[in-house]
Amino acid sequence: MTYRAPVDELRFTLVEVAAVDVLKATGAFPDFTDDITLAILEEAAKLANDVLAPLNKTGDAEHCKLDNGVVTTPTGFRQAYAKFVEGGWQGLQFPTKVGGMGLPRALGVATLEMVQSANMAFGLGPMLTYGAIEVLLVHGTDEQRAAYLPKLLNGEWSATMNLTEPQAGSDVGALRTKAEPNGDGSWAVSGQKIFITWGEHDCADNILHLVLARTPGSPAGTKGLSLFIVPKILDDGSRNGVQAIGLEHKLGIHGSPTCTMEYSGAKGWLIGAENAGMKAMFTMMNSARLNVGVQGVGIAERAYQQALAFAKDRKQGKAIDGKGPGPHPIIQHPDIQRSLAMMKSKIAASRAICMACAVAADLSEYAEDEDERAAAKRREELLTPIAKAWSTDIGVEVASMGIQIHGGMGYIEETGAAQHLRDARITPIYEGTNAIQAMDLAGRKLNMQGGAAFTELYADIELTIEACSTSSHPDLPLLGERLEEGLDSLREAATWMSEADPADVLAGATPFLTLAGEVIGGWMLCIGAVAARRRQKDKLGDPVFAAQRIALAGFYCEAVLTLAHARVDDITMGVEMISDVGFGVD
């Protein structure tokens, strides 16, 4: 099944739900106009539909190959990367003064979603490069920016992120890779990194590895980590002391080379101050966390499209309202429609969360008013773990539902439905597992600045409840009621979490993040419903689309928000009820 980028849906979410147009007032994006938005979305759709999507299955079947330190990507990936570079896609959301297109991050999120839907294994390469560009913009010296940014922004070079070692996964502070001063301003980096995405490949001319390492005498844990830039090929054209010595055999994303990297005195240069590596790495991780969330949305969209097409084609049984003797297409069965509605509504909700997070990130940098920038930063920080974890959980859930809709054929590789689930399964794991995201939300974001991020969120959700309750549309007041019930549950859980013992907080963190995702997702869909109602009244756009957006929000409110209260009991059960189950540990 081929993929068709949902341009109308992306545009509606960008403009009506994530309110990307607020960025126009900042003056930071002079080229950001409605026409440009449409042109960018349509061009990215062509790349995704026509170039990347047809290679998705090839990448899965062929895998990457490693031979004597050289990695060969699957057939067509090199040519696709050349097309990606030709279109200037790598630089879309970065400032023009450094060679980017100077467009908002949310537009970057929309184009990234199309790339990830079309071919997640391919999309990982450029995604890692985005993060490195962010790090250099914020923490690099003028010389480093001048030396590296143009080539990263035009895609001639790519970049990687090197944290993980066998003994240091979630606990990054346990890493042992060393960096010794060479005496000329450069450092000799030695150690082994595992699971490095696009660590070696044949698509770009050079690869810049961003590597976390310890300098001599540095403090233990994360406080003693420094970040280095280690190019694969040095300025004089010689090979640096870094190479791929292994390639992982994985459940999915076979077209993405996941490498074991050996650093043997490789020449590197500090980015930022010594022992301030985590600060710099967090810049990269925040961008990467949002982008991994976008992968969740992208893979879910692809799985949904495939399931929808299958459901229209496959005939089984007699539908309750079917015409003639049957068999009828399975899409006529109410249970299949329920699954499709669940998939579609959760995709729309998670997409909106990712875009809203991107708009907040831009506002936090470019809003004119200092208070507005600070509030936007809080919103970005609150939404980032939710965008990452909730959207990737949805990616897995929707991909699994896609298989279910296919019946037995979903379990057979031939249809491609299984690949979506295999590909999606990594997203809740890498870039900080979803458990780590939940701990970040419950342990840090909930109480930061006296709980301001949550208080501001509640106030904004209340505005939407009010808009629904006072709407002239007969269905919207019920949406407002459901959203209010969801908000009450979120408040209750958050109040309990902010006062509970740390062990109880950790025990409830994952369902707390799920509840936050579900309520914020519901809020986003209600914003969409209010906007759709406005369009109906003003006779703007496609009336069928507007009616369906209202119905989508209505379905979600009944099917998902009504469960919010039950989540509170799960969140607040406390650690003892869990540990009493007994696992043979003291």
Ligand X SMILES: Cc1cc2nc3c(=O)[nH]c(=O)nc-3n(C[C@H](O)[C@H](O)[C@H](O)COP(=O)(O)OP(=O)(O)OC[C@H]3O[C@@H](n4cnc5c(N)ncnc54)[C@H](O)[C@@H]3O)c2cc1C
Residue ranges in contact with ligand X by CB under 6 A: 161-164, 169-170, 195-197, 250, 258, 426, 429-431, 433, 435-436
Output phi, psi for 262, to 5 deg.
-105, 120
Task: Output the smallest distance, CB 259 to ligand X, in A.
Answer: 9
Assess contact for 315 and 328: CB atoms under 8 A: yes
Nearest to 449, CA basis, from 503, 492, 498: 498
Beta carbon nearer to ligand X, 26 or 162 = 162
Task: Output the smallest distance, CB 465 to ligand X, in A.
Answer: 34
Q: Could you write out the three-class secondary structure of 549-568?
A: HHHHHHHHHHHCHHHHHHHH
Task: Output the smallest distance, CB 210 to ligand X, in A.
Answer: 9
Nearest to 516, CA basis, from 492, 540, 550, 542: 492
Task: Output the smallest distance, CB 162 to ligand X, in A.
Answer: 5
Task: Output the smallest distance, CB 436 to ligand X, in A.
Answer: 6
Assess contact for 209 and 231: CB atoms under 8 A: yes
Assess contact for 250 and 429: CB atoms under 8 A: no
Beta carbon nearer to ligand X, 40 or 513 = 513
Task: Output the smallest distance, CB 170 to ligand X, in A.
Answer: 3
The reply to whether omega before 327 is within 30° of 0 (cis) is yes
Question: What are the b/e assignments for 481-497, b being 16+ CB within 10 Å?
Answer: ebbbbbbebbbbbbebb
Beta carbon nearer to ligand X, 431 or 504 = 431
Beta carbon nearer to ligand X, 4 or 250 = 250
Output phi, psi for 84, to 5 deg.
-60, -45
| DSSP H or E stretch at residue 391 | helix 370-406
368 is annotated as an active-site residue: no
Beta carbon nearer to ligand X, 107 or 438 = 438
β-bridge mates for residue 208, sequence order: 159, 231
**Three-class DSSP category at 70:** strand
Task: Output the smallest distance, CB 169 to ligand X, in A.
Answer: 2
Assess contact for 305 and 5: CB atoms under 8 A: no
Beta carbon nearer to ligand X, 125 or 480 = 125
Beta carbon nearer to ligand X, 29 or 430 = 430
Alpha-carbon dihedral of residues 508, 513, 516, 517, nearest 10 degrees?
A: -150
- Beta strand 157-162 with 206-214 is parallel
Beta carbon nearer to ligand X, 101 or 212 = 212
**Residues in contact with 369: Cβ distance below 8 Å, sequence separation at least 6, in sequence order:** none
Give how far the C-alpha of residue 363 lies from the chain's centroid of Cα atoms, to the nearest Å: 19
Q: Could you write out the three-class secondary structure of 221-250?
A: HHHHEEEEEEECECCCCCECCEEEEEECCC
First to last CA, the chain: 52
Beta carbon nearer to ligand X, 120 or 527 = 120
**Residues in contact with 299: Cβ distance below 8 Å, sequence separation at least 6, in sequence order:** 116, 117, 120, 395, 398, 399, 420, 423, 424, 427
What DSSP designation does 218 have? P
Q: Which of 431, 484, 485, 518 is catalytic?
A: 431
> How big is the CA angle at 565 (ends 559 and 567), to the nearest 5 degrees?
90
Beta carbon nearer to ligand X, 435 or 573 = 435
Residue 389 exposure: Cα atoms within 13 Å on the Cβ side: 26
Task: Output the smallest distance, CB 212 to ligand X, in A.
Answer: 8
Assess contact for 379 and 360: CB atoms under 8 A: yes
Task: Output the smallest distance, CB 191 to ligand X, in A.
Answer: 12
Task: Output the smallest distance, CB 173 to ligand X, in A.
Answer: 11
Nearest to 487, CA basis, from 508, 515, 510: 515
Catalytic residues: 431
